[in-house]
Amino acid sequence: MENKFMLGKFNIAIIGYGYWGPNLVRNFSGLDNCQVAYVCDQRVEQLALVAKHHPSIATTSDYQHVLADTSVNAVAIATPVSTHFTLAMQALAAGKHVWIEKPLTTTSQQASLLIEEAKRRKLILFVDHTFVYTPAVRRIKQLIDLNELGDIYYYDSTRVNLGLFQSDVSVLWDLAVHDLAIMDYLLGLQPSAVSATGIAHVPRAPENMAYLTLFFDRKSPPLIAHVHVNWLSPIKIRRTLIGGSQKMIVYDDLDATEKIKLYDKGIMVANDTESQYQRRVGYRTGDMIAPQLLMTEALHVAAAHFVGCCQTGETPITDGNAGLRVICILEAASESLSRNGYPINL
């Protein structure tokens, strides 16, 4: 199908029309200054769906045809992670900006090569860490930056549900990537070491549940992070606890009305080492407030941010380096998991 592009619009091609592709089409099409020029997929039945629901969008199974079209400004890659590196490198070589699904690549070496290529060609490399663009996470970042929580003591996250079992990546690379991306954005600190344990209950399949502990070099006050991910839970939980010296946050992504709860609770530690332990630690209990949040779809915000960065040259919040930092943690976690939780330095 031949497409007639509108002058002045930012043209993007969606590569892969599976689980996430339709969401990308909807959100990029919803931007005033952007249009989806192509959807590319090797499955004929998926292209038929595009033609049915979006007749104005050109469809093709030939990725090289998309890359050869000079009117296409960018590609959004929503394909299996094993294909990310090759597809992204080809797009950068063709002069296209690149949006890519999480995780960025399968190895940190591949991620570094993409970052170098994008920098050399002065192109945008954007990683779709969608949760970073949610109103809840953006508000938590604001609270941390305003020092509402004081010094951060711990970051504890649980992300579990029944399925979806993946055949090509473990639960760490599928689910923990979200929490690591959020943590990277909120804390702005890289862990010094990581320990991971997990298990696979399906023969010849990747691990379906895992526990990840991240250690930081900061001594005063000490900081630790913990992530629990699981495809074999009877209930769905998306909850994060962030404890600070002044206040604490409970972030429940499944709570429709109060995703963030800010608690004025904590401890007070006396300096009198001669006192009994029970007397040295006091407890402070104050109010709980649930900040009001904007009802904005995170993917829409991310899409607008990507297009804006491509047009202005601004560095995205979730650029290639953000993707690389997460992959470095996942690589270390995978090695630790294979060694029964042995801590791996980063």
User: By three-state DSSP, how is residue 239 classified?
Assistant: strand
Residue 169, pLDDT score: 83
Q: Report strand pairing: 10-15 vs 281-289.
A: unpaired
In sequence order, the β-bridge partners of residue 157 are 227, 240
Residue 2's pLDDT is: 43
Residue 5 has pLDDT above 60, yes or no: no
What's the average model confidence in pLDDT over 168-179? 92
Dump pLDDT digits (tens) for 145-156: 999 999 999 999
Residue 6 banded pLDDT, cuts 50, 70, 90: low
Do the first three CATH levels of 10-130+299-319 and 132-296+329-345 match, i.e. the same topology?
Answer: no
Reported as a pLDDT band with limits 50, 70 and 90, residue 3 is very low
**pLDDT at residue 218, as a whole number:** 86
What is the average pLDDT across 275-286?
Answer: 65
Domain chopping of the chain, boundaries: 10-130+299-319, 132-296+329-345
Phi then psi for 227, rounded to 5 degrees? Answer: -130, 130
Classify residue 319 by its DSSP letter. Answer: B
CA distance 210 to 230: 6
Q: Which residues, listed in sequence order, are joined to residue 194 by a DSSP beta bridge?
A: 214, 344
pLDDT tens-digit series, residues 8-23:
689 999 999 999 999 9
Right CATH for 132-296+329-345 from 1.10.287.370, 3.30.360.10, 3.20.20.140, 1.10.12.10: 3.30.360.10
Calculate the average pLDDT of the chain: 93
Higher pLDDT, 210 or 5: 210
Choice between 140 and 283, residue whose per-residue pLDDT is larger: 140
Return the pLDDT at 64: 97
Q: How far apart are CA 132 and CA 134, in angstroms?
A: 6
Amino acid at 315: T
Residue 286 has a pLDDT of: 76
> What pLDDT is attached to residue 165?
83
DSSP letter, residue 39: E
Query: What's the whole-number mean pLDDT along residues 169-193?
Result: 95
Tokens of 315: 């560095």
pLDDT tens for 46-60 read 999 999 999 999 999
Determine the CATH number of domain 10-130+299-319: 3.40.50.720
Predicted confidence at residue 281, as pLDDT, reads 67
